[in-house]
Structure 1
Amino acid sequence: MKAIVSASAVALSLIAGAASAQAVRTEKNMSLELANQIAAATVAACAANNYNVTAAVVDRAGVLRALQRADNAGPHTVDAAQGKAYTSASARNTTAAMLENVQKNPGAATLVDIPGFLVLGGGVPVKVGNEVIGAVGVGGAPGGHLDEQCANAGIAKVADLLK
């Protein structure tokens, strides 16, 4: 009888251990060092084209990790960059793709009503493989497509670190 009770206890502890292991997740996230590198590279990419921008980098939860504002970038670019980064991280998509969806799909039009969302081009997710670890948002270039180009250039500068 003791052997049956002991075997049952072992089985229950194994089941409980397996269930609790599934409750814990491991995920990659944006480090401060990486965020600063992306922000600096993004601002530099825009500066090379004479665009004075702000670059905001957020972690996977959309929380600001780094912000760099170029000399002569307008004050509005700070909020725009942060809003685009938050939106991209939250949706795990580019803000340009989201804008296109909002314009073409009446059902998606209410995305612009989500607090903190800024559905304008210039927000790009940062990925390790297929996992979004954060996003970069850019404000200040003369067009969202140019903001996005700078964001992509900033991410490309750290591509070796995103493996």
Structure 2
Amino acid sequence: MLSTPRLTLVALALCATAAHAELRTEKALTLSLANQIAAAGVAACQANGYAVTVTVVDRAGGVRAVQRADNAGAHTLEASRAKAWTSASAKNTTLAMMENAQKNPAAANLVNIPGFLLLGGGVPIKAGNEVVGAVGIGGAPGGHLDEQCAMAALDQVKAQLQ
């Protein structure tokens, strides 16, 4: 038979094990990497003659980095942030979401979710299979071009995302 002190220790050990089981480990997007992605996105678009803003957010949609090219329109700040937030939230590209909403009546109401911007240019940032954030680009003459710049930026840092 267990004494009261031993029973108490067993109960505490079980509680500690149960509490520990509720924690999880996540990879986090560093400020340095977020700034690299933002700079690479601006550079990729500038190489094609587009003045854009790039916003990088963490998995929860919190802004980690923003870079706005010379001559990028004022509206590109909010557009890039909203695209990044939407992509991080849905863990999908905003271009794919937009196309799905256009083709699928059941998905058409996604445009009514506050903060969602279903225009191409938002791309999830993945470390392996884990979404650690997203990049949003606004300002190229088409969302598909914003997305191409985002993909090029992520390609520049892919070794750091393994």
TM score, norm. by length of structure 1: 0.93
What residue number does 2:155 align with? 156
| Equivalent pairs, count | 162
Distance in 2 (CA, whole Å) between partners of 1:105 and 1:154 is 30
The reply on whether 1:82 has 2:81 as its aligned counterpart is yes
Of 7-16 and 54-63, the range deviating more from structure 2 = 7-16
Determine helix, strand or coil for the equivalent of 1:147: helix
Distance in 2 (CA, whole Å) between partners of 1:29 and 1:135 is 12
Calculate the aligned-residue CA RMSD, in Å.
Answer: 1.3
Distance in 1 (CA, whole Å) between partners of 2:64 and 2:127 is 17
Unaligned runs of 5+ in 2: none
Distance in 1 (CA, whole Å) between partners of 2:141 and 2:107 is 26
Distance in 2 (CA, whole Å) between partners of 1:93 and 1:8 is 50
Distance in 1 (CA, whole Å) between partners of 2:147 and 2:128 is 20
Q: CA deviation at 1:114?
A: 1.2
Distance in 2 (CA, whole Å) between partners of 1:47 and 1:14 is 58
Determine helix, strand or coil for the equivalent of 1:107: coil
Distance in 2 (CA, whole Å) between partners of 1:98 and 1:14 is 47
Determine helix, strand or coil for the equivalent of 2:72: coil
TM score, norm. by length of structure 2: 0.94
Matches within 5 A, 1:70-149: 70-149=69-148
Q: CA deviation at 1:5?
A: 4.2
Q: CA deviation at 1:88?
A: 0.2
Determine helix, strand or coil for the equivalent of 2:26: coil
Identity among equivalent pairs (%):
62
**Which aligned runs of 4 or more in structure 1 are off by greater than 6 angstroms?**
none
